[in-house]
């Protein structure tokens, strides 16, 4: 009897081992953290390769990320990317019958994404496939493994694929002027069709460029200079086929700032609305302007919103009035 009980106990133990090992294969929740890099501070380099877009490289630089041509990366885009590395979870395992189609699609449209630590050691190498039909999941597998999983983010009702396939300029930080007030030595603002409103800020003085009249307005100057710290473009327009013809027009406004290290940064603005008829545009018209094309001295052609850049569109009269 004692021997029989021992045999029954062994049989039950083997049964439990079989149950849990078999359900591990069937239940993705038991391997839900397979794709996660829980501490994204470990990540110091990211590489993304996709044959429809330029291959991207990101290197951590303090609190920022730099792209391969040394441009600063857009903070929101990097936050979205790191969120995938940190939180990506398995939703379910696709049916076995779909394996061949999934493998074919992975080879055809797969995105390679690699994350490295500060020593250059590979943390994860993902192959990101297509979205599911309902757009609520994304097929992902680790390089070297055959099994692809449908994954998702708990924070997102949708596919993560789009977070990896941006063009170079879409990854870039869109700051036009990110200078702090203390870094600005001089500012010059010209209005070619309203010369009386053109001015220069030098120290605590605002000087009219047409009459050389000088006024002191410390509070207004400080408030104005604060506006340079957060001028963000809506988009880069470097591929705009009309940019050369737009540059031939007389700008509505030309802004130049000189920094304490001697660097100059320039921005010429052309209202998007009716830019062929810019003779109709004056400072008093700016409330009805929505967007401007911006031509910069640092090589970019931009699209800017009036609600952002409008804080810089002041005239000499603004500083001179009591």
Number of domains in the chain: 2
State the pLDDT at residue 3: 54
- 176-197 burial code (b ≥16 CB/10 A, e <16): bbebeeebbbebbbbbeebeeb
- Same structural domain for residues 149 and 280? no
76 lies in which domain range?
31-171
Distance CA 73, CA 123 (A): 21
Lowest average pLDDT, out of 2-11, 56-65, 179-188, goes to 2-11
Among 171, 206, 223, identify where a domain stops: 171
Among 154, 171, 188, identify where a domain stops: 171
Among 152, 171, 190, identify where a domain stops: 171
State the pLDDT at residue 196: 95
Q: pTM for the complete prediction?
A: 0.81
User: Is the pLDDT assigned to residue 190 strictly greater than 90?
Assistant: yes
Is residue 61, in this structure, part of any structural domain at all?
A: yes
Distance CA 185, CA 183 (A): 6
Is residue 69, in this structure, part of any structural domain at all?
A: yes
- pLDDT tens for 114-147 read 999 999 999 999 999 999 988 889 999 999 998 9
When pLDDT is averaged across residues 287-312 and rounded to a whole number, the result is 92
Is residue 19, in this structure, part of any structural domain at all?
A: no
Q: Does residue 32 or residue 114 have the better pLDDT? A: 114
User: Is the pLDDT assigned to residue 37 strictly greater than 90?
Assistant: yes
State the pLDDT at residue 310: 92
Q: Which two tokens stand for residue 206?
A: 């605002």
Looking at every residue in the chain, the average pLDDT score rounds to 87
- Same structural domain for residues 164 and 240? no
């Amino acid at each position: 009897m004692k021997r029989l009980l021992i045999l029954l106990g062994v049989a039950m133990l083997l049964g439990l081992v079989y149950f849990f090992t078999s359900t591990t294969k069937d239940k993705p929740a038991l391997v839900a953290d397979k794709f996660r890099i829980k501490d994204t501070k470990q990540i110091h380099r990211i590489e993304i390769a996709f044959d429809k877009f330029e291959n991207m490289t990101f290197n951590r630089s303090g609190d920022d990320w730099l792209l391969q041509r040394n441009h600063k990366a857009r903070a929101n885009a990097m936050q979205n990317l790191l969120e995938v590395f940190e939180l990506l979870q398995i939703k379910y395992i696709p049916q076995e019958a779909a394996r061949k189609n999934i493998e074919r699609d992975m080879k055809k449209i797969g995105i390679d994404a690699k994350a490295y630590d500060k020593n250059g050691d590979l943390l994860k190498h993902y192959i990101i496939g297509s979205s599911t039909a309902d757009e609520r999941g994304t097929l992902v597998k680790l390089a070297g493994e055959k099994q692809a999983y449908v994954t998702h983010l708990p924070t997102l009702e949708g596919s993560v694929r789009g977070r990896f396939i941006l063009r170079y300029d879409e990854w870039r930080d869109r700051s036009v002027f990110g200078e702090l007030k203390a870094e600005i030595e001089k500012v010059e603002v010209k209005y070619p069709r309203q010369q009386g409103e053109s001015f220069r800020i030098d120290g605590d003085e605002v000087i009219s460029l047409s009459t050389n009249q000088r006024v002191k307005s410390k509070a207004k100057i400080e408030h104005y200079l604060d506006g340079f710290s957060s001028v963000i473009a809506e988009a880069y327009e470097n591929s705009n086929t009309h940019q050369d013809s737009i540059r031939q027009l007389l700008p509505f406004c030309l802004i130049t700032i000189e920094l304490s290290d001697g660097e100059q940064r320039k921005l010429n603005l052309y209202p998007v609305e009716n830019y062929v008829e810019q003779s109709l545009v004056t400072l008093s018209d700016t409330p009805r302007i929505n967007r401007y094309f911006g031509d910069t001295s640092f090589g970019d052609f931009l699209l800017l919103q009036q609600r952002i850049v409008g804080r810089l569109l002041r005239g000499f009269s603004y500083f001179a009035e009591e």
